[in-house]
């Protein structure tokens, strides 16, 4: 890890912040590839998309002594993916569907580890966190949408912002819901150093 260059294949400011908080020295390169997937299950979709992003960025790099990290996060309710809302009305409907019950947040990470000869080891995995949202009134939902930028967030909410007051509990990794299971990534990279 110390000898290898680390590249985060994501434009997400939240992922970048988590990498900084964890003490990683890294650079950012964003995949421009269209996000098309074949899988149907949320966990498989995020694995597929994170790998697509990481591989796309890796193609533009010198592939020696470099680690490329791709990530993709989705919010799922009853096995159906809730993407980013297309309008405030869409955001309202999404949040209304989440309140008073549990849903899942999946983040897929693809870690491409290139050795000094350009050989690549791929670690591709999805982490799931169960999120329980308290019942919310229509006024509370409207107030949240009016005061937060919900349009760039899967499921129309960010757990680390004002929506925190509506979270009853979570089961699993909090940072996975923010967008990056940072402890999982650290463990993978730590194992790489010890190999």
List, by residue number, the catalytic residues. Answer: 72
* DSSP code per residue over the chain: --SSEEEEE---HHHHHHHHHTT---EE----S-------SHHHHHHHHHHHHHHHHHTTS--SSEEEEEEEEEEEETTEEE---SSHHHHHHHHHHHTTSEEEEEEEEEEEEE-TTS-EEEEEEEEEEEEEE----HHHHHHHHHHS--TTSGGG--TTTGGGGGEEEEES-HHHHHT--HHHHHHHHHHHHH-
């Amino acid at each position: 890890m110390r000898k290898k260059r680390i590249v985060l294949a994501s434009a997400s400011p939240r992922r970048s912040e988590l990498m900084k908080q964890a003490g990683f020295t890294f650079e950012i390169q964003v995949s421009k590839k269209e996000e098309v997937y074949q899988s149907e299950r949320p966990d498989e979709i995020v694995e597929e998309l994170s790998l697509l992003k990481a591989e796309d960025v890796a193609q533009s790099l010198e592939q020696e002594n470099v680690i490329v990290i791709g990530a993709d996060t989705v919010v799922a309710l009853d096995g159906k993916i809730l993407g980013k809302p297309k309008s405030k009305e869409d955001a309202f409907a999404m949040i209304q569907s989440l309140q008073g019950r549990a849903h899942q947040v999946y983040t897929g990470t693809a870690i491409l580890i290139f050795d000094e000869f350009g050989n690549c080891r791929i670690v591709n995995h999805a982490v799931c966190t169960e999120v329980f949202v308290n019942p919310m009134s229509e006024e509370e939902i409207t107030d949240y949408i009016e005061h937060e930028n919900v349009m760039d967030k899967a499921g129309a909410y960010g757990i680390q912002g004002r929506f925190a007051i509506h979270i009853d509990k979570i089961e699993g990794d909090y940072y996975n819901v923010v967008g990056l299971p940072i402890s999982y990534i650290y463990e993978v990279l730590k194992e790489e150093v010890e190999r």
